[in-house]
Structure 1
Amino acid sequence: MKKNLRTLFSLFLVAGTMQLQAQEEMVDKIVKEANENSKLEEIAHELMDEIGPRLVGTPEMKKAHDWAVKKYDSWGISAENQEWGTWKGWERGITHVDMVSPRVSSLHARQLAWSPSTRKKGITAEVVILPEAKNANDFKNMLSRVKGKFVMISQHQPTGRPAANWEEWATEKSWKNMQQKINKTDSLWSKRIENTGYSSRELPKALEEAGAAGIITSNWSRGFGANKVFGAYTKEIPSIDIALEDYGMLYRLAENGSAPEIKVVAQSKDLGEMPTFNTIARIEGSEKPEEYVILSAHFDSWDGGTGATDNGTGTMVMMEAMRILKKLYPNPKRTIIAGHWGSEEQGLNGSRAFVKDHPEIVANVQAVFNQDNGTGRVKYISGQGFLHAYDYIGRWLQPVPQEIKGEIETIFPGTPSGGGSDYASFVAAGAPAFGLTSLSWSYWNYTWHTNLDTYDKIVFDDVRDNVILTSIMAYMASEDPETASREKTVLPMNDRTGKQMTWPEPRDAERRGGLD
């Protein structure tokens, strides 16, 4: 009996040693492939340079989906575009804005997403500042002043220098004076908007109805040369965003009675109702094919830049990880899926649709790994409120090289995210889903939804580390003999409301966007 037990123990020991050895060999292969045969630059060039920004409803978005399917096919990975809804179709054309009076100057400007087009010859008109009214009734009486004019609806910034630049170079007195000026300008402009009686979304529509020639915004991102570029709310007249100093120049000229005039050529096409998709790639599982490890990244972007760090880099990580896993780990125990979601920017729509439409997958998710906040190496992982996340995330992180995992801070069990990125869609449905949160690299000021979110901002060394991390964690989650626990922690009290926090509820996607 004792001899049999010793033999059995020896067999277990040998099996465990062999398993650990195989794991170490796989990790070494992943690291080598990621570092010595990387396709990241190739993916980045094709996606950002050749296709460009990926606004939902545009031909470029569909082109990106088709490109991804072909790219996966070239790696021997099956992929398809799954339609989940429709969106307002739109195609960006040429934007050219010139000041023609009191002098001639070409301006840094672009039309907002879904902006109506001008006629081919453009529109030439005077620029005026949003009328300053005492209240909503007073504003209505002033609306006749905007007829035939381009109306500036953003405040004039007192400085185009970021706060850090002032703190580095200014005297204490000078910086204090500028802070006071900024606060005063913010306050006065907020009051001016409030006194119109309209919200920021409603105001452009009201000006359009009053006969304005167009809407001008300047949504500064608090960084040198960076503007946030979102969508238009007008239906017939163009909406354009102008860079901070060009906007400031027009504002000062209008404020001082010089009656500046601009010529705006903003060509675009309304394409009507267009289908929207998620691109889904699969490496089929060999032992537990109906359990899933999901690599998650939204595919769409705003179109002020080329969507490089939001979320080209997350897309690159998941595609490259899938390529490496297919090459080195072609028969995973569990099915590995890459989800490239559409219309995340308008409310996690692609991932919410997938969760709603595929309950059989969501019910059997082992883990979702999502990356969506810039080009930096991963710094934080939260347990998202899953009570035992510490155990399995810890196991999956264990073989990751120390130079990568050593920088990662973990928070367990954490609290569930109600939004922000696509892992929240899965968390709401009770599936273990985790955000791989990156270092900033000045993301919020310089690249998040801005005109500067372009290829040159990618830090490829950090992205490569994220590929290694994601590939190893996906491999470990697939190999894990245990199924990840979905038990939820008791959530804490909300400091703001004084009530106990509740788990977020699943929400369906907006299936027909921008069409009403």
Structure 2
Amino acid sequence: MKHPFKTLLAVLLLFPAITISQSTDAVVEAIVKEANENSQLEPLAHQLMDQVGPRLVGTPQMKNAADWAVEKFESWGIDAKIENYGEWRGWERGITHIDMISPRVQSLKGTQLAWNPSTGSKGVTAGVITMPTFKDAADFTKWVPNVKGKFVLISMNQPTGRPDYNWEEFATEESFTKMKEERDAQTEEWRANLERTGYNSRTIIAELEKAGAAGIVASNWSRGFGVNKIFSARTEKIPTVDLELEDYGMVYRLAESGQNPQIKVVAESKDLGMVPTFNTLAEIKGTEKPEEYIVLSAHFDSWDGGTGATDNGTGALVMMEAARLLKKAYPNPKRTIIVGLWGSEEQGLNGSRAYVEDHPEMIPNIQAVFNQDNGTGRVVRLSGGGFLQSYDYLGRWLNAVPEKISDHIETSFPGTPARGGSDYASFQAVGVPAFSLSSLNWSYWDYTWHTNRDTYDKIIFDDVRNNAILTAVLTYMASEDPERASGEKIKMPLDRRTGEPREWPSPRSPERKGGM
């Protein structure tokens, strides 16, 4: 028989945990019910990806997205606003049309790269030229006048457009090995040849433009069927386009075989001067501790080869839907809930770094940041981010998440802080407990990350819906927790190169006048 006092003490010690557990049931059930029976993810995704489109910083589409999000939040009874923090080079994509007109006529699949000047409606028509093998920089200098008046093909002609997994499934082992060895040798020689020019893949473009090239044609293959990475141009006056591998290889082979192909590029765009750059913010005010905060974090901007669906449209939708669920199931949180849809993450976490820098009074009072960025898949990893006590409070919060969601999540405590990669790093750098909700791959790196295939049809709505539930429940638990989440940091491990302890990442200031 237990001593009566010891029994009473045990009950009292358990009471806070029981209270939290019991109080979460109705709210968690309401969150799950609303998410599953009245999900807004599909219409939100259609409106954001199909109607608004890609959200390159400095474009009208980025501003349209912010206006759309503010209107959505307000329709749910959530206060929202746009907060400017700087300027960026304004630019608007127009029509891109690329055609081979000789030795036969064929429309080619590709696009103008971001912030590239317009060709005008008449476009540019010229022959193409490939780069030969150079002995040294002097040899390149002797050759470079040949580019005058021509489109220069600046990417290696890939020996295969089939991804490795396709070869592995169907090829003989000997054939697959032979292809990889030949490709590796070709790639190594391509890089060495470029190095012999005295330039690198970036600086050589300015030299080609200076020498009078009519334009630059690249093909940044992403190791999948029909998929290329799409970034920004590095020319000041001439067009730069990216051709999909299949068409790039055809034009390249025709040039190499002496067929003298000609192409016509119409790449209409508008330079809009300097325009405001901003974050889109929403707030559900806390009732008991309004000066303490939980931040739901995702970047709103994207590259514009596709429509930014999985990088990071789905992350933004998770945070928006989580806020909607919370407003309906938990309208009076104890702590203030902030939704931060950050601008210009793709150029260096600028939006979240600006928010951290511009709101120093908030930093000591942030209970937690939950960030989602890496694609459409269900969350499968959660790290403690280098916060020593993170196991205690994240464990408590995660325990309230439905098992069908939490069972897929592997945790790692206490983990280590990030030095970049996504916006949670901006908060970790100033000591805020910030956590990445890291999701299942779904071929993200090859097929949708910064590519021409990052579009609505790649979204896995069941997984995104689970992520919204996860985020909403974690936020609810963080808000209700009677304790403050500890920001105590781990003792950083040794740097293998120096033998000295690594330092916690330092805060970095954002770029507030960018794109020029």
Give how far 1:361 is off. Answer: 1.3
DSSP 3-state at the match of 2:73: helix
- TM-aligned CA distance change 1:384 to 1:14, over 3 Å: closer
Structure 2 counterpart of 1:386: 387
Give how far 1:8 is off. Answer: 9.9
Structure 2 counterpart of 1:145: 146
Listed as ranges, the matches of 1:394-405 within 5 Å are 394-405=395-406
Give the Cα–Cα distance (whole angstroms) in 2 for the partners of residues 336 and 249 of structure 1. 54
Tell me the amino acid that sits aligned with residue 203 of structure 1: I
Give how far 1:117 is off. Answer: 1.0
Give the Cα–Cα distance (whole angstroms) in 2 for the partners of residues 12 and 180 of structure 1. 65
User: TM-score, length-normalised on structure 2?
Assistant: 0.97
Structure 2 counterpart of 1:227: 228
Structure 2 counterpart of 1:128: 129
Task: Spell out, residue by residue over 1:388-421, the C-alpha distance to the aligned partner (whole angstroms, 9 max, x if none).
Answer: 0010100110011111111111111111100000
1:288 pairs with 2:298: no
DSSP 3-state at the match of 1:363: helix
Task: Spell out, residue by residue over 1:51-79, the C-alpha distance to the aligned partner (whole angstroms, 9 max, x if none).
Answer: 00000000000110111111101000001
Tell me the amino acid that sits aligned with residue 151 of structure 1: V
Give the Cα–Cα distance (whole angstroms) in 1 for the partners of residues 256 and 338 of structure 2. 56
Listed as ranges, the matches of 1:306-345 within 5 Å are 306-345=307-346
DSSP 3-state at the match of 2:179: helix
Give the Cα–Cα distance (whole angstroms) in 2 for the partners of residues 255 and 8 of structure 1. 85
Give how far 1:258 is off. Answer: 1.1
- TM-aligned CA distance change 1:292 to 1:229, over 3 Å: same
Give the Cα–Cα distance (whole angstroms) in 2 for the partners of residues 346 and 317 of structure 1. 22
Moved more, 252-261 or 435-444: 252-261
Give the Cα–Cα distance (whole angstroms) in 2 for the partners of residues 16 and 120 of structure 1. 68
Structure 1 counterpart of 2:506: 505
Give how far 1:48 is off. Answer: 0.2
C-alpha contact 2:230 2:451 (8 A) present in aligned 1: yes
Tell me the amino acid that sits aligned with residue 502 of structure 1: E
C-alpha contact 2:21 2:400 (8 A) present in aligned 1: no
Give the Cα–Cα distance (whole angstroms) in 2 for the partners of residues 194 and 461 of structure 1. 47
RMSD of the TM alignment (CA)? Answer: 1.8
- TM-aligned CA distance change 1:499 to 1:15, over 3 Å: closer
1:488 pairs with 2:485: no
Give the Cα–Cα distance (whole angstroms) in 2 for the partners of residues 491 and 210 of structure 1. 50
Structure 2 counterpart of 1:208: 209
1:302 pairs with 2:303: yes
Structure 2 counterpart of 1:32: 33
Give how far 1:24 is off. Answer: 1.0
Listed as ranges, the matches of 1:368-383 within 5 Å are 368-383=369-384
Give the Cα–Cα distance (whole angstroms) in 1 for the partners of residues 317 and 11 of structure 2. 44
Structure 2 counterpart of 1:184: 185
Give the Cα–Cα distance (whole angstroms) in 1 for the partners of residues 53 and 20 of structure 2. 44
Moved more, 132-141 or 423-432: 132-141
Tell me the amino acid that sits aligned with residue 22 of structure 1: S
- TM-aligned CA distance change 1:170 to 1:16, over 3 Å: closer
DSSP 3-state at the match of 1:436: strand
Tell me the amino acid that sits aligned with residue 394 of structure 2: I
Give how far 1:260 is off. Answer: 0.7
Structure 1 counterpart of 2:241: 240
Give how far 1:498 is off. Answer: 3.7
Structure 1 counterpart of 2:448: 447
- TM-aligned CA distance change 1:15 to 1:270, over 3 Å: closer
Structure 2 counterpart of 1:59: 60
Give the Cα–Cα distance (whole angstroms) in 2 for the partners of residues 384 and 15 of structure 1. 27
DSSP 3-state at the match of 1:106: strand
Structure 2 counterpart of 1:265: 266
Tell me the amino acid that sits aligned with residue 389 of structure 1: S
Give how far 1:137 is off. Answer: 2.3
Give the Cα–Cα distance (whole angstroms) in 2 for the partners of residues 414 and 54 of structure 1. 32
Stretches of structure 2 that go unaligned for 5 or more consecutive residues are none
Give how far 1:22 is off. Answer: 2.1
DSSP 3-state at the match of 1:327: helix
Give the Cα–Cα distance (whole angstroms) in 2 for the partners of residues 416 and 367 of structure 1. 14
Give the Cα–Cα distance (whole angstroms) in 1 for the partners of residues 12 and 173 of structure 2. 72
DSSP 3-state at the match of 1:491: coil
Give the Cα–Cα distance (whole angstroms) in 1 for the partners of residues 501 and 17 of structure 2. 44
- TM-aligned CA distance change 1:151 to 1:344, over 3 Å: same
Give the Cα–Cα distance (whole angstroms) in 1 for the partners of residues 96 and 168 of structure 2. 36
Tell me the amino acid that sits aligned with residue 85 of structure 1: G
Structure 1 counterpart of 2:476: 475
Give how far 1:140 is off. Answer: 1.6
DSSP 3-state at the match of 1:265: strand
DSSP 3-state at the match of 2:146: helix
Give the Cα–Cα distance (whole angstroms) in 1 for the partners of residues 349 and 15 of structure 2. 47
DSSP 3-state at the match of 2:227: coil
DSSP 3-state at the match of 2:222: coil
Give how far 1:15 is off. Answer: 7.3
Task: Spell out, residue by residue over 1:61-118, the C-alpha distance to the aligned partner (whole angstroms, 9 max, x if none).
Answer: 0110111111101000001100011111100000000101111111001000111111
Give the Cα–Cα distance (whole angstroms) in 2 for the partners of residues 342 and 425 of structure 1. 13
Give the Cα–Cα distance (whole angstroms) in 2 for the partners of residues 153 and 111 of structure 1. 15
1:361 pairs with 2:362: yes
Give the Cα–Cα distance (whole angstroms) in 2 for the partners of residues 323 and 61 of structure 1. 22
Tell me the amino acid that sits aligned with residue 43 of structure 1: L
DSSP 3-state at the match of 1:221: strand
Give the Cα–Cα distance (whole angstroms) in 1 for the partners of residues 464 and 497 of structure 2. 37
DSSP 3-state at the match of 1:114: coil
Give the Cα–Cα distance (whole angstroms) in 1 for the partners of residues 17 and 253 of structure 2. 74
Give the Cα–Cα distance (whole angstroms) in 2 for the partners of residues 108 and 45 of structure 1. 24
Give the Cα–Cα distance (whole angstroms) in 2 for the partners of residues 471 and 145 of structure 1. 60
Give how far 1:437 is off. Answer: 0.2
Tell me the amino acid that sits aligned with residue 92 of structure 2: E
Tell me the amino acid that sits aligned with residue 295 of structure 2: I
Give how far 1:119 is off. Answer: 2.5
Give how far 1:306 is off. Answer: 0.2
Moved more, 164-173 or 11-20: 11-20
1:79 pairs with 2:80: yes
Give how far 1:50 is off. Answer: 0.3
Give the Cα–Cα distance (whole angstroms) in 2 for the partners of residues 304 and 15 of structure 1. 51
Give the Cα–Cα distance (whole angstroms) in 2 for the partners of residues 158 and 3 of structure 1. 79
Give the Cα–Cα distance (whole angstroms) in 1 for the partners of residues 422 and 236 of structure 2. 29
Give how far 1:499 is off. Answer: 3.3
Tell me the amino acid that sits aligned with residue 275 of structure 1: P
Task: Spell out, residue by residue over 1:265-309, the C-alpha distance to the aligned partner (whole angstroms, 9 max, x if none).
Answer: 000011111110100100000011111000000000000000000
